[in-house]
């Protein structure tokens, strides 16, 4: 009997108590099998982190299966670690329990390929190459103004037609994805997708579904990643995600083949041409250390394009979706923005990037939408490649580090009354009495440090040009069920629940 009690006691403490490592940050001591102490996050990641921060402080620890996770919630520490190489890695897949699943899902090679998930020389080379060549084609520069405005025009045209045909009741869901992606796709592939094409719309619906399926803080995936590969592959959700990856990679490989046949090495037309040229060079020179060489070169190409595809459409489109929610919840702020647009731009042309410096209120409004819309609450997870000291804490190798962006974006220390929608917090009056936009160091919406968002400049241009044109041209009437500013699902991104609204073209 005593032996049984002893056995149960040992089993209980093994399964239900955290095995804390010396120097580990504080966190809950109780855990449940498989999910670990991450159960304390609850179903809403943002609220869960806020609650645990209150209890355990700015840096706390949770476990999830075999993963050890640390959450960093204060700006000073994030600014410090964002600059450190030790905190700029992603999880090293070769040492992760799910390396085979990851290989199967994303067709990765020696390690993770592309930009978002890669490390070391591959990451540096792919990130630098992509940024440099995208910039050659105008990425984030004022010369992209016309290209984005063309997409804005298409969207406005499409909306006006829909208004004429159904009295203007719109279902807002993946409304902006295709238009936003086109701005990037044109400089990546030289092409645009038809925003009214049902098959293309389906592609983006699947992408959004994939983001949402990481819901409940990605538990399903994390649990799946802790199962043996043969079992994990049988999970229908993973199978669906695999199908999505396969189709998307196929699309990118076809584009590559088409580009290869028409590419002029002296005159690259777009990013895919630049890839063709660099991969040919690596092959001809037998540059085996290059991330463009051989099979790895192919995997880096498809994964880099996949990263641009997933990162470059969903976040910006979701921010625009939040903008419509904010327009309906705070009509006075948008009325003021519209007056500014009417004064600076007028009604005879669309807003251009050159108007931006003259529209401080609109700029402040965008910042407040980004702060409160908060579409990437923990950005992309980081990991430490080697054991490292973080203040008084010791983080073991492969600890996952979450940059808790929401905690900074809603910190009253930086944004008094953070729950209030107040564009004025980003405004000041200069000595001559002129209203000016005041940037804020805590607006870390795009992450910070070495892994800061690669698409920041483009995303800001897109947000400005699309939103300013929408405010200039349309009014919105909420239909029943329009979400409040906290009605959302929280997964990798924070998404407003899909809603209907009446859109009215301004006379």
CB of 176 to ligand HEM, least distance (A): 11
- Cα–Cα dist 453/471, whole Å: 27
Contacts of residue 419, defined as CB under 8 A and 6 or more positions apart, other chains included, come to 410
Binding stretches for ligand HEM (CB under 6 A) = 115-116, 127, 184, 307-308, 311-312, 315-316, 319, 375-376, 379-380, 403, 445-447, 451-455, 458-459
Q: How far apart are CA 500 and CA 481, in angstroms?
A: 7
How many CB atoms lie under 10 A from the CB of residue 280?
A: 15
- Which residue's CB comes closest to ligand HEM? 455
Closest distance of CB 306 from ligand HEM, Å: 10
- Select 35 or 375, whichever has its Cβ closest to ligand HEM: 375
Closest approach of ligand HEM to the CB of residue 316, in Å:
4
Nearest alpha-carbon partner for 214 in 492, 401, 498: 492
Min dist CB 463 to ligand HEM, Å, is 6
Element (H, E) at 390: strand 388-390
In sequence order, the 6+-apart residues with CB closer than 8 A to the CB of 168 are: 162, 502, 503, 504, 505
Residue 309 Cβ, how far from ligand HEM at the closest point, in Å? 9
Q: In this structure, what are the phi and psi dihedrals at residue 384, rounded to the nearest 5 degrees?
A: -100, 125
Q: Is 183 annotated as a binding residue?
A: no
CA gap 260, 263 in Å, rounded: 5
CA–CA gap between residue 470 and residue 501 (Å, rounded)? 14
Cβ closest to ligand HEM, residue 134 vs residue 227: 134
- In the complex with ligand HEM, the residue whose CB is nearer, 275 or 446, is 446
Choice between 135 and 349, CB closer to ligand HEM: 135
Q: For residue 258, what are its two tokens?
A: 């088409």
Residue 9: exposure state from Cβ atoms within 10 A (0-12, 13-18, ≥19): exposed
Least separation, in Å, of the C-beta of 14 and ligand HEM? 34
* C-beta of 301 vs 403, nearer to ligand HEM: 403
Nearer to ligand HEM, 18 or 307 (CB): 307
Residue ranges at the known binding site: 453
């Amino acid at each position: 009997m005593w032996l049984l009690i002893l056995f149960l006691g040992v089993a209980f403490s093994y399964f239900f108590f955290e095995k804390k490592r010396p120097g580990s940050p504080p966190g809950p001591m109780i855990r449940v099998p498989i999910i670990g102490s991450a159960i304390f996050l609850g179903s809403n990641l943002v609220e869960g982190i806020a609650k645990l921060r209150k209890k355990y402080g700015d840096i706390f620890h949770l476990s999830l299966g075999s993963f050890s996770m640390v959450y960093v919630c204060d700006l000073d520490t994030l600014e410090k670690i964002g600059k450190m190489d030790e905190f700029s890695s992603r999880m090293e897949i070769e040492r992760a329990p799910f390396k085979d699943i990851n290989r199967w899902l994303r067709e990765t090679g020696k390690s993770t390929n592309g930009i978002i998930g890669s490390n070391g020389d591959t990451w540096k080379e792919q990130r630098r190459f992509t940024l440099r060549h995208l910039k050659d084609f105008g990425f984030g520069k004022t010369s992209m103004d016309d290209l984005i405005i063309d997409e804005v025009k298409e969207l406005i045209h499409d909306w006006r037609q829909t208004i004429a045909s159904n009295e203007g009741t719109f279902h807002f869901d993946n409304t902006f994805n295709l238009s936003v992606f086109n701005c990037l796709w044109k400089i990546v592939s030289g092409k645009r997708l038809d925003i009214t094409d049902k098959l293309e719309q389906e592609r983006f619906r699947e992408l959004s579904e994939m983001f949402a399926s990481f819901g409940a803080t990605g538990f399903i995936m994390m649990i799946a990643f802790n199962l043996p590969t043969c079992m994990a592959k049988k999970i229908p959700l993973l199978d669906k995600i695999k199908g999505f990856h396969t189709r998307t990679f196929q699309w990118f490989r076809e584009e590559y083949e088409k580009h290869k046949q028409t590419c002029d090495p002296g005159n690259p037309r777009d990013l895919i041409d630049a890839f063709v040229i660099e991969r040919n060079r690596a092959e001809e020179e037998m540059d085996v250390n290059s991330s463009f060489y051989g099979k790895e070169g192919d995997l880096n190409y498809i994964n880099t394009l996949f990263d641009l595809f997933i990162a470059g459409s969903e976040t910006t489109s979701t921010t625009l979706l939040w903008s419509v929610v904010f327009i309906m919840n705070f009509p006075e702020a948008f009325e003021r923005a519209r007056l500014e647009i009417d004064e600076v731009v007028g009604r005879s042309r669309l807003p251009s990037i050159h108007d931006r410096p003259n529209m401080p209120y609109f700029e402040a409004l965008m910042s407040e939408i980004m702060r409160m819309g908060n579409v990437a609450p923990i950005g992309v997870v980081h990991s430490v490649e080697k054991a490292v000291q973080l203040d008084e804490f010791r983080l073991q190798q492969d600890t996952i580090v979450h940059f808790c962006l929401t905690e900074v974006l809603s910190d009253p220390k930086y944004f008094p009354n953070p729950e209030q929608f107040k564009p004025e917090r980003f405004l000041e009056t200069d000595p001559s009495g002129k209203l000016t936009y005041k940037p804020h160091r805590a607006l870390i919406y795009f992450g910070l440090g070495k892994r800061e968002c690669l698409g920041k400049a483009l995303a800001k241009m897109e947000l400005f040009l699309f939103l300013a044109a929408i405010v200039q041209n349309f009014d919105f009437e909420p239909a029943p069920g329009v979400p409040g500013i906290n009605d959302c699902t929280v997964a990798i991104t924070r998404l407003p629940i899909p809603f209907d609204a009446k859109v009215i073209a301004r006379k």
